[in-house]
Structure 1
Amino acid sequence: MALVLILLLLVACIVFSTTKLKLHPFLALLGAALLGGFAYQMPLLEIVKTINSGFGGILGYIGIVIVLGTIIGVILERSGAAITMAETVIRVLGERFPTLTMSIIGYLVSIPVFCDSGFVILNSLKNALAARMQVSVVAMSVALATGLYATHTFVPPTPGPIAAAGNLGLESQLGLVIAVGMLVGSITALAGWLWANRFLKQDDHQLLEEAPSELLADGVDFAELKARYGQLPSATQAFAPIFVPILLICMGSVAAFPGKPLGDGLLYLTLNFLGQPVAALLVGLAIACTLLKGADKRQHFHDQVVSGIASAAPILLITGAGGAFGAVLKATPLGDYLGQSLSSLGIGLFMPFLVSAALKTAQGSSTVALVTTSALVAPLLAPLGLDSEMGRVLTVMAIGAGAMTVSHANDSFFWVVAQFSRMKVTTAYRAQTMATLVQGITGMISVWLLSLILL
């Protein structure tokens, strides 16, 4: 019990220091990581080493993606491509349900793309739609984040659900896992969308640290801003830097799918390489360069890169510090304690949900929660009455629902959403963290109802 109490106190310290003391989140998270190491009685020499490895590990995975995505976003914004994207989406889908539009886009994109990469890639589109439709950027950000999060935890080929399915003996039934995952994911995405709508009419000035982009700056009229760019890029030119990388990542996922549908020759190697987020975004950046205007395009490109790096720097630091905090928690006995305590409850599908939710909340990574819980639960399926094909599928779904619950300070996705949207930390907890709680509970209720029908 003391282990859980320490975690709650650490989270409370982060919230208090960033809101009341106005301490920068980077320092608040590093301080929490250091305090956590002492509180959990880690060996002194291991504390700083764990913080360093956690900081570097998360940036090694998402750091270059954040920088490249930010540079592409700057080019899209300053070339007028973001305005073209907003106008095109509104023309195709209408403007009655802006947050629903954003949620659907996130739901589809995150099937092949990691949720944090997807948020970075789609950030410019989200800002442009918020400005064009004159709705809260917080509502649009939560709608996008929850749409991305839904398929991230339920639908292969995302690594977490694939690993969970493999641990539970469903390697040959991934099609069934995908079908059920898309159903449960759509329900949780709907729950996230409804939560996002709570912020539609709220004043962004009270919820944000600053405007996330010049499109959303105070006093900027969208029509005047549009006229300022002169001739805007075509829809194809505007969307290509975003959707070509997404397509490449999709193709890479298909190539790496179990069973090797595209073989293992040159086509497989090429798509597997270009399907890596960093390679895909480099292609997107090359395409974005065609949007540059003016006579001295080389200098113009240099200026955009400098601006993008400057914008990405604080996001990188905070995301890395969040990774350090999560790494310290992973190195403690907290995860083992929660897993052993909850696995003995014997409450059917709710047991894997609770174990996964406890691990997710404690250490921050949805993928780790999915993999660890599925390995722990696999030998217990028969006593739990889940030792059937559909029982195993629904167990994967229950674990996925737990792996959403909840995203907070030790989760890199929380900081990606908060920092790219420029939310205050208190706003991020009210909007994003609570949204993931609503999604996780809704997902588990959906899985339980399905079990009444299918088991």
Structure 2
Amino acid sequence: MSLVLILLAIIAFIVVATTKLKMHPFLALLLAAFIAAFAYGLPAASIAKTVSSGFGGILGYIGLVIVLGTIIGVILEKSGAAITMADTIIKLLGERFPGLTMSLIGYLVSIPVFCDSGFVILNSLKESLAKRLEVSSVAMSVALATGLYATHTFVPPTPGPIAAAGNLGLESNLGLVIGIGLVVAAVAALAGLFWASRFKNVEPDGSEHELSHQDWQALRASYGKLPSAWQAFSPIFVPILLICLGSVAKFPSHPFGEGGLLTLFSFLGDPLPALLIGLLLAVPLLKGDSKAEAFGHAITEGIKAAAPILLITGAGGAFGAVLKASPLGDYLGATLSAWGVGILMPFLVSAALKTAQGSSTVALVTTSALVAPMLAQLGLDSEMGRALTVMAIGAGAMTVSHANDSFFWVVSQFSGMKVGLAYRAQTMATLVQGVTAMVLVYLLSLVLL
């Protein structure tokens, strides 16, 4: 029992340090690793080595993937590719289902672009459509926000799911995580869309940010010549396709044979080469007189954006390494197995962390590091079990977005919603999303495990 009390105290320390003391999650997780090491009685001579190897182990491979994914996202964001994605989907779906259209736009755009940035970029389109089609901008805001949020927490190459997959030993099988993540994210997005429809007759109650059709046209014009649909979608969907093909190629049945095709798809389907190809496909989107200079700026900006995520991910790896070296995993895994908690345990821990400290990425990284040593005892120590654990953690990491989450304020402020309405509309939508996604993950675990 004392092992569990130590763990609860360490989790409480992480929450208090990041919320009350405003400590950066990187430092909070790193200190938590050292506190855990001493509290669980690890030999003093090995503590520093365990922490540093845990930090370097997770970043040695997944770090490069996070950086490349972030750079691609920066290029797509700055080039107007998100605008092209939105225009393409509107052309495909028309204007008959505005809420579904906004949800689908968010679902696709947030795979490469952070949900906060995606909402800011697409806000004028959302307001323009709401005004043109005479539908509630609150319902449209929630539909867009929940669509963005779904893929943000479930689908690589978004950094949070990638880091969780790395902590759980799935860095070489991201195709499985992407495949399941796209399905779970789709259901979560539909759940958010369902909640958004409850506000179809509700208008913003705060300082409104209504934007006309002309504003959307002005935003489009500010990007100059927009990329084609192929140019906009290919830097992210070609790598995803390659990663999925790489996973298929490694199936025991060897669907591509055991010769050259297997070698080719195994190499190209590795996340690192796949994202390098995605980066090459993104380069033509760069604007300016000097493509080389623009590329340099994009890399610099991408590295700046990725740096905090890399540090948090590495510190989470260090924390996980200490927990693996402690007796906690065997004890807690056996206890939870006796309780029959199973796949629900990662969800509950992640949801508690998300609700307490606000960051989905921190919840994904911390929970995955904490759960990794217990997978065998929880009956989740298989490729599918690990992938479903990532999904369960992702479901928790979206439950719930409220006042301590920057995304909550982006959605409420750009949509002209006061805090009360934002809690009823956006926060409740993320609760519905998280619970719905977890129900699906639980049902999948009954069938697939």
User: Normalising to structure 2: TM-score of the pair?
Assistant: 0.66
Amino acid aligned to 1:299:
E
**Corresponding residue of 2:230:** 236
**Corresponding residue of 1:364:** 368
Shift of 1:422: 5.6
Instruction: Report if the CA contact (8 A) 1:402-1:440 is conserved.
Output: no
Could you list the runs of 5+ residues in structure 2 that have no partner in the other structure?
128-140, 157-164, 171-175, 203-213, 352-365, 410-422
Alignment length (residue pairs): 370
Instruction: Report if the CA contact (8 A) 2:150-2:185 is conserved.
Output: no
Shift of 1:68: 0.8
Aligned: 1:306 with 2:300: yes
Cα deviations by residue, 1:223-274 (Å, 9 ceiling, x for unpaired): 4321111211111111111111111112212211111111121221111101
Candidates 126, 133, 138, aligned match of 1:133: 126
Amino acid aligned to 2:233:
F
Candidates 243, 246, 249, aligned match of 1:255: 249
Whole-angstrom distance in 2 between the partners of 1:85 and 1:318: 31
Amino acid aligned to 1:96:
G
Cα deviations by residue, 1:66-89 (Å, 9 ceiling, x for unpaired): 111111111112221221112212
Instruction: Report if the CA contact (8 A) 1:160-1:370 is conserved.
Output: no
Instruction: Report if the CA contact (8 A) 1:103-1:146 is conserved.
Output: no
Shift of 1:447: 6.5
**Corresponding residue of 2:82:** 82
**Corresponding residue of 1:21:** 21
Identity %: 43
Whole-angstrom distance in 2 between the partners of 1:129 and 1:368: 41
**Corresponding residue of 2:100:** 97
Structure 1 residues 8 and 93: alpha-carbon distance in aligned structure 2, compared to 1, 3 A threshold: farther
Whole-angstrom distance in 1 between the partners of 2:101 and 2:28: 34
Whole-angstrom distance in 2 between the partners of 1:339 and 1:45: 27
Shift of 1:368: 6.4
Whole-angstrom distance in 1 between the partners of 2:444 and 2:219: 45
Shift of 1:61: 3.3
- Trace 1:312-327 onto structure 2 (pairs within 5 A): 312-327=306-321
Structure 1 residues 102 and 257: alpha-carbon distance in aligned structure 2, compared to 1, 3 A threshold: farther
SS at match of 1:96: helix
Could you list the runs of 5+ residues in structure 1 that have no partner in the other structure?
107-117, 150-157, 164-176, 203-219, 379-395
Structure 1 residues 368 and 263: alpha-carbon distance in aligned structure 2, compared to 1, 3 A threshold: farther
Instruction: Report if the CA contact (8 A) 1:4-1:334 is conserved.
Output: yes
**Corresponding residue of 1:373:** 378
SS at match of 2:378: helix
Structure 1 residues 435 and 132: alpha-carbon distance in aligned structure 2, compared to 1, 3 A threshold: same
**Corresponding residue of 1:69:** 69
Whole-angstrom distance in 2 between the partners of 1:57 and 1:423: 30
**Corresponding residue of 1:10:** 10
Structure 1 residues 357 and 80: alpha-carbon distance in aligned structure 2, compared to 1, 3 A threshold: closer
**Corresponding residue of 1:172:** none
SS at match of 1:373: coil
Shift of 1:6: 1.9
Aligned: 1:279 with 2:273: yes
Whole-angstrom distance in 2 between the partners of 1:29 and 1:255: 37
Amino acid aligned to 1:31:
L
Whole-angstrom distance in 1 between the partners of 2:430 and 2:61: 22
Whole-angstrom distance in 2 between the partners of 1:187 and 1:242: 19
SS at match of 2:329: helix
Cα deviations by residue, 1:395-438 (Å, 9 ceiling, x for unpaired): x78x9766654459xx9x89xx99xx96599x9x9998996566
Aligned: 1:333 with 2:327: yes
Cα deviations by residue, 1:274-325 (Å, 9 ceiling, x for unpaired): 1011101111111111112232211121121111112211111112112222
Shift of 1:160: 12
**Corresponding residue of 2:51:** 51
Structure 1 residues 434 and 19: alpha-carbon distance in aligned structure 2, compared to 1, 3 A threshold: farther
SS at match of 1:72: helix
Instruction: Report if the CA contact (8 A) 2:184-2:441 is conserved.
Output: yes
Candidates 142, 145, 166, aligned match of 2:149: 142
Cα deviations by residue, 1:347-402 (Å, 9 ceiling, x for unpaired): xxx465467779999962577665553378x9xxxxxxxxxxxxxxxxx78x9766
Choose 118-127 or 291-300, whichever is displaced more: 118-127
**Corresponding residue of 1:109:** none
Whole-angstrom distance in 2 between the partners of 1:88 and 1:61: 35
SS at match of 1:23: coil
Shift of 1:159: 11
Aligned: 1:41 with 2:38: no
**Corresponding residue of 2:438:** 440
Amino acid aligned to 2:2:
A
Structure 1 residues 251 and 294: alpha-carbon distance in aligned structure 2, compared to 1, 3 A threshold: same
Amino acid aligned to 1:373:
L
Structure 1 residues 131 and 34: alpha-carbon distance in aligned structure 2, compared to 1, 3 A threshold: farther
SS at match of 1:88: helix
Candidates 191, 194, 200, aligned match of 1:194: 191
Instruction: Report if the CA contact (8 A) 1:99-1:193 is conserved.
Output: no
Whole-angstrom distance in 2 between the partners of 1:226 and 1:359: 42
Cα deviations by residue, 1:104-140 (Å, 9 ceiling, x for unpaired): 759xxxxxxxxxxx95578699555566335367634
Choose 89-98 or 232-241, whichever is displaced more: 89-98
Instruction: Report if the CA contact (8 A) 2:67-2:302 is conserved.
Output: yes
- Trace 1:102-113 onto structure 2 (pairs within 5 A): none
